[in-house]
């Protein structure tokens, strides 16, 4: 029998008129899906372009559909689903005029199996682990921010210059009409410990520092995944930022 997994996701618009984030869960069974566990897919449509919300929805839904109906190794299924989601987006772009040509989305797709975590990600949406009171990002960030941090480490710019650099949020890779420049695939399991809390989030959560997130996590560590996701979004709303981005948080408890 497949063990029950506690999971939940929540969203807020922030100060945006539209919601460009999208997410979905799909419980997995060895009988019907080839493995036991849970699939989580989260995407953030590229703001500032037409169709951001449509892009994120297509990417999530097509990834889940392809993954759940495909067979093969986990690596083959994750790669196939990644490319299927891009094909679906390209088909959608072709149905519209050129003003939709720049629509695109980030993606983080996570399989929670009995062995641990496996993921594929593109863009800056994060996959995080809360363990022993500390928040750790476990997937790659395909924005310019890590490259700027490297320049700071080499003494080529100051931390303040990097923090205010106009391109710090620019994406180096995304699911879009342009070629898929870079993605991260981890098919070997990232081992979890009892009590770990895993969550994926769009970049709107970055309004909170890791320490602020960890504090909320610690306070609510014994609560349900739904309660934890809600607590993080309450913290976002309490900031009262005039230019708060859409924020989506999807939580998986490892009990």
Structure tokens at 79: 């790669």
pLDDT of 116 > 60? The answer is yes
How many Å apart are CA 103 and CA 109, to the nearest integer?
19
Q: Using one digit for the tens of pLDDT, what is the confidence trace for 67-87? A: 999 999 999 999 999 999 999
Average pLDDT for residues 42-69, to the nearest whole number? Answer: 91
| Residue 2 clears pLDDT 60, i.e. is over it | no
43-57, 111-125, 211-225: segment of lowest average pLDDT: 43-57
Provide, rounded to the nearest whole percent, the portion of the chain with pLDDT above 70.
98
In angstroms, the CA 91 to CA 95 distance is 7
236, two tokens: 């976002």
Query: For residue 170, how many C-alpha atoms fall within 13 Å in the half-sphere facing its CB?
Result: 10
- Is the model's pLDDT at 1 over the cut of 80? no
Give the strand order in the sheet containing 116-122. 21-28, 37-44, 107-113, 116-122, 184-190
Mean pLDDT across 111-125: 96
The dihedral over CA atoms of 233, 234, 235, 237, expressed in degrees to the nearest 10, equals 90
**Cβ-based neighbours of 121, under 8 Å, separated by 6 or more:** 106, 107, 108, 109, 127, 139, 140, 142, 183, 184
- Read off the tokens for 215: 């504090």
Strand partners for 153: none
Token pair in block for residue 211: 């320490």
Tens of pLDDT, residue by residue over 123-146, are: 999 999 999 999 999 999 988 777
Domains of the chain listed by start with CATH number: 7-253 (3.60.40.10)
* Confidence (pLDDT) at 49: 66
Mean pLDDT, the chain, whole residue set: 92
Among 109, 131, 115, residue whose Cα is nearest residue 191: 115
- Say what percent of the chain tops pLDDT 90: 74
Residue 72 burial (C-beta neighbours within 10 Å; 0-12, 13-18, 19+):
exposed
Question: How confident is the model over 181-226, as pLDDT tens digits?
Answer: 899 999 999 999 999 999 999 999 999 999 999 999 999 999 999 9
């Amino acid at each position: 029998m497949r063990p029950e997994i506690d999971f939940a996701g929540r969203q807020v618009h922030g100060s945006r008129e539209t919601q460009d984030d999208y997410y979905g869960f799909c419980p997995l069974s060895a009988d019907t899906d080839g493995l036991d566990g849970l699939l989580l897919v989260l995407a953030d449509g590229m703001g500032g372009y037409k169709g951001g919300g449509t892009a994120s929805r297509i990417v999530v839904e097509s990834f889940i559909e392809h993954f759940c109906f495909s067979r093969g190794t986990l690596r083959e299924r994750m790669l196939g689903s990644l490319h299927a989601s891009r094909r679906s987006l390209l088909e959608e772009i072709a149905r519209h005029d050129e003003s939709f040509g720049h629509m695109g989305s980030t993606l983080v797709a996570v399989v929670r199996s009995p062995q641990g975590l496996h993921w594929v990600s593109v863009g800056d949406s994060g996959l995080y682990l809360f363990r022993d009171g500390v928040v750790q990002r476990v997937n790659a960030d395909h924005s310019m921010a890590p490259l700027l941090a490297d320049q700071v480490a080499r003494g080529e710019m100051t931390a303040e210059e990097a923090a205010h650099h106009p391109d710090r949020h620019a994406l180096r890779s995304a699911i879009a009409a342009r070629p898929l420049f870079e993605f991260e695939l981890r098919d070997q399991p990232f081992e979890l410990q009892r009590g770990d809390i895993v969550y994926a989030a769009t970049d709107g959560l970055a309004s909170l520092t890791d320490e602020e997130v960890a504090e909320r996590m610690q306070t609510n560590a014994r609560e349900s995944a739904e309660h934890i996701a809600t607590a993080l979004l309450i913290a976002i709303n309490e900031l009262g930022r005039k230019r708060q981005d859409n924020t989506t948080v999807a939580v998986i408890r490892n009990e």
